[in-house]
């Protein structure tokens, strides 16, 4: 036979389990949201195609076609990301440029989708990020 204390203990255990489960779900949702935010906007097929041409004409001059530039701090394939390696980080570098270097800001030259596509292309040169 169950007494009030046993029922109370069982209810408390159930509440704690449900609370823990919902907290876990909320934590997982938060991680997914943070990952999506770090991934930046998803470019369209047209923006990806445009970014390929932009890279050839604007970026490859310094960074080379394969991203393996011999110029210090301009190599995308060596795994060293001075300004961050997430899509959002790379987008910020492309958008804002890097003061004191030849990397000029491009935020007024290209759409956000083109910049997102460029960021993904740049990251694709690093084997650790694939």
pLDDT tens by residue, 39-89: 778 999 999 999 999 999 999 999 999 999 999 899 999 999 999 999 999
**CA–CA distances in Å: residue 94 to residues 13, 61, 81, 114, 123:** 52, 15, 13, 10, 12
**Angle between helices 45-54 and 112-124 in degrees, nearest 10:** 70
**Residue 59 half-sphere exposure toward CB, CA atoms < 13 A:** 24
The residues near 2 (Cβ < 8 Å, ≥ 6 apart) are none
- pLDDT (0 to 100) of residue 12: 47
With pLDDT > 90 as the criterion, what percentage of the chain qualifies? Answer: 65
Per the structure block, which two tokens stand in for 94?
């492309």
When the pLDDT of each residue in the chain is averaged and rounded to a whole number, the result is: 82
Per the structure block, which two tokens stand in for 32?
């997914």
* Confidence bin at 32 (pLDDT 50/70/90): low
- pLDDT (0 to 100) of residue 64: 97
- pLDDT (0 to 100) of residue 26: 52
């Amino acid at each position: 036979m169950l007494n009030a204390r046993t029922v109370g203990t069982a209810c408390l255990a159930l509440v704690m389990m449900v609370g823990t489960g919902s907290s876990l779900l909320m934590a997982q949702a938060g991680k997914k949201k943070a990952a999506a935010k770090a991934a930046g906007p998803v470019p369209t097929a047209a923006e990806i195609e445009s970014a390929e041409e932009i890279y050839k004409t604007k970026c490859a001059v310094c960074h080379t076609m394969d991203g393996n530039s011999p110029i210090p701090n301009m190599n995308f394939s060596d795994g060293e990301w001075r300004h961050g390696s997430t899509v959002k980080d790379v987008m910020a570098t492309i958008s804002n440029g890097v003061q004191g270097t030849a990397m000029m800001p491009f935020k007024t030259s290209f759409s956000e989708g083109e910049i997102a596509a460029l960021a993904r292309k740049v990251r694709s040169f690093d084997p650790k990020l694939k």
